Amino acid sequence: MRIRSCQKLARNMAWIAFVFSALPVLAQLQSESGMEGTNFQGVVHYENNAPAQFVQVELWTDGESSWRTTTMTDRMGKFQVGVPCMVIQYRINTPGYRPEWGRVDVSTNPCRALEWITLKKKSNSTPEGPATGVVDGRIAAITPEARAEFDNGQRAINDDDFSGAIPHLQKAIALNPKYAEAYQLLGVAQLKTNQASQAEASLLKAIEIEDRMPRSQYLLGVIYARTNRVEMAEKPLNRFAELEPDNPDAQFELAKVTFALKKFPEAAGHARNAIKLKETDPGVYVVLGYALLRQKKADDARHAFQHFLKYDSTSPMAADVKNLVAQIDQKVGK
């Protein structure tokens, strides 16, 4: 019996390659319990983009619940922890740096978040963490007035006031045209206010000033992919993968993009890399399965699809995947 994979592929292509309406940077899928796995993830950097290594992060629930935990960033400045599906508060209090506090509502499915946090030094304090002379010089040139506007923009974004953040970030850039971090944050605010073309321009400017900005590279790749310019998405996503080699998001996005470009062996490789890096979105197995199927590796594809069904049996795609597995079984005589 012929496997009608092309029909299934066309039907699910939007999900496989272009599910970018809600950016994974800000909210992602999560397990049913809300406490399994690592549904709350964070990336902590210093102002020079160096990772904040081995910094303690406190997390607790809003309201009357007594849930609380602490965790530590790793060598890449990342942390991840399982949290309940509630309003989560977090705090980082590091000597020499301003306390950073945030409040994230993960009470609604899919109950998952990824926070990007920048530690800002206190006045008269010495920066911690590795840095290069070029980055130090640019950061040192940022005026107090520009930094104050950036901080106002950051606070507005933390409060989900993306429209209110934009004027502050634009003023920070006007005061300091080399303020790459302000361009990056402006791009985030513009994306959240449906200004994709403006966000693209802001992110391109951020990367022009400072190429070593993984968040900007990632968001730019996502914009290209979601606007059907997948051939342009590879470069920034590959750069994102170079800057954060342990980040499964880089490999997963590259898997979707290379699949859309019909580079099926590469797509399968990126999907496998994402799985090795513990990508928690079970959709990675769907991308892997289709990439293998297009290489006529039906049995391997079947195993990938079965993994997807194991981890996400209630997905809207589950019925299609089950039917596809049944077709594979009939063809190979299982």
Query: Distances in Å between the alpha carbon of 130 and those of 8, 48, 67, 139, 309?
Result: 49, 8, 34, 13, 43
Selection from 58, 88, 89, 51 nearest residue 72 by Cα: 58
Q: What pLDDT, on the 0 to 100 scale, is given for residue 65?
A: 53
260 lies in some domain: no
**98 or 28: which leads in pLDDT:** 98
**45 or 96: which leads in pLDDT:** 45
Residues 232 and 155 in one domain: yes
Residues 46 and 98 in one domain: yes
The answer to whether 318 and 312 have CB atoms below 8 angstroms apart is yes
pLDDT band at 147 (very low <50, low <70, confident <90, very high): confident
238 lies in some domain: yes
**272 or 248: which leads in pLDDT:** 272
The answer to whether 165 and 151 have CB atoms below 8 angstroms apart is no
The per-residue pLDDT of the chain, averaged, comes to 80
Question: What's the CATH code of the domain at 207?
Answer: 1.25.40.10
258 lies in some domain: no
H or E, element range at 120: none
Average pLDDT on 114-121 reads: 89
Query: In a 10 Å sphere around its CB, with 0-12 CB exposed, 13-18 middle and 19+ buried, how is residue 66 labelled?
Result: exposed
Selection from 50, 89, 103, 104 nearest residue 73 by Cα: 50
Residues 114 and 170 in one domain: no
262 lies in some domain: no
The residue from 200, 230, 245 where one domain ends is 245
**37 or 194: which leads in pLDDT:** 194
- Out of 36-45, 124-133, 290-299, the most confident range is 290-299
CA 5 to chain CA centroid, Å, is 29
Q: What pLDDT, on the 0 to 100 scale, is given for residue 277?
A: 87
Spatial distance between the Cα atoms of 179 and 171, rounded to a whole number of angstroms: 11
Average pLDDT on 328-334 reads: 74
* 263-268 contact pairs (CB < 8 A, 24+): 264/291, 264/292, 264/294, 264/295, 265/291, 265/295, 267/291, 268/292, 268/295
Spatial distance between the Cα atoms of 81 and 69, rounded to a whole number of angstroms: 9
The residue from 245, 277, 308 where one domain ends is 245
Spatial distance between the Cα atoms of 78 and 116, rounded to a whole number of angstroms: 9
Neighbours of 189 (CB within 10 A): 25
Number of domains in the chain: 2
101 lies in some domain: yes
99 lies in some domain: yes
Spatial distance between the Cα atoms of 208 and 52, rounded to a whole number of angstroms: 24
Residues 75 and 166 in one domain: no
Spatial distance between the Cα atoms of 218 and 196, rounded to a whole number of angstroms: 14
Spatial distance between the Cα atoms of 175 and 155, rounded to a whole number of angstroms: 19
Q: What pLDDT, on the 0 to 100 scale, is given for residue 130?
A: 41
254 lies in some domain: no
Beta strands in 139-250 (DSSP E): none
Q: State which residues form the domain around 217.
A: 143-245
Question: What's the CATH code of the domain at 42?
Answer: 2.60.40.1120
Taking only the tens place, the pLDDT of each residue in 272-326 is 999 998 888 889 999 999 999 999 999 999 999 999 998 888 888 888 888 888 8
